Amino acid sequence: MRTISESRCFGGVQGVYAHASDATNCEMTFGLFLPEEAEFGPVPVLWYLSGLTCTHENAMVKAGAQKWAAEAGVALVFPDTSPRGDEVPDHPSYDLGHGAGFYINATEQPWAGHYRMWDYIAEDLPRVITANFPIEDERQSICGHSMGGHGALTLAMSLPGRFRSVSAFAPISHPTASDWGRKHFLNYLGTDEATWAPHDATLLMRERGFEGEVLVDQGTADPYLNALMPEALAEAMCTRRQPGAVRMQRGYDHSYFFIASFMGDHIAFHAEALHR
């Protein structure tokens, strides 16, 4: 692992680091905010997964999360959204290739050699974080936006015991039935739709739910609302009687202005679970 930068931030440190990843077979970059409490011992951690076209930097710079995390004594991890580099396959479309890993393990060519973002988030990066920083293994929560909201929800429901809480901003809620999902699954996973189901938050909610609480915020003025399908996830949560809430926020869109407006709510939600 190498340090790219470290800056003092709300009494803690906002760092950017790079490491060689076994999962993605390339160098990966991530951001990590450590609150002041990390100077004295391990702290709980909140993972933030970003959406299409983003890098580790978007949420780190735009979400305003560090202020709230510092007050809560919680670390923040900002992973990248895909493998990158000249040797990593890309696509001219904005929603495939670099910036569009979709938090799954690709099985189709040319993607299979590098696009293993599920393993990267679930196994590879956690090993790097806990080996190099004062982070508590047993106190973790996860959050994400759009494609990252899809990743946060599917990881949380598929890894029982890993995360104490999960939240999402405008998640891709039902990708097997959406243009934001079917294209990615077809390219990364192939034509067998049985392999798609484990990566659909609505289907996972119907099948198993989440052992903790769920918080979802969705803007009513989001231009991608039809592709995100929050109503499918809300219906699945109601049918399962899943503890949590899907909140439709009047007039908000898909941007980081929306995320910054409710980031304090989300960190407070996770801090309550992490410090319980």
Position 82: which residue type? S
Both structure tokens of 164: 């104490």
Catalytic residue, chosen from 56, 222, 266, 270, is: 222
Q: Are 136 and 74 in contact (CB under 8 A)?
A: no
Q: What is the CA radius of gyration of the chain?
A: 17
222 is catalytic: yes
Report how far apart the first and last C-alpha atoms of the chain are (Å, whole number): 32
Both structure tokens of 88: 């990593």
Distance (Å, whole) CA 28 – CA 24:
8
Distance (Å, whole) CA 188 – CA 110:
9
In 3D, which of 156, 154, 209, 160 has the Cα closest to residue 176?
A: 154
Q: Give the strand pairing for 12-21 and 26-34.
A: antiparallel
91 is catalytic: no
Q: Give the strand pairing for 244-249 and 213-219.
A: parallel
Say if residue 176 is exposed, middle or buried (CB neighbours under 10 Å; 0-12, 13-18, 19+). Answer: middle
Place of tokens 């929306």: 258
141 is catalytic: no
Catalytic residue, chosen from 21, 82, 146, 178, is: 146
Q: Please, what is the Cα angle at 137 between 136 and 143, to 5 degrees?
A: 90
**Residue partners of 13: CB distance under 8 A and separation at least 6:** 6, 7, 33, 34, 38
Catalytic residue, chosen from 56, 114, 184, 254, is: 254
The residues annotated as belonging to the active site are 146, 222, 254
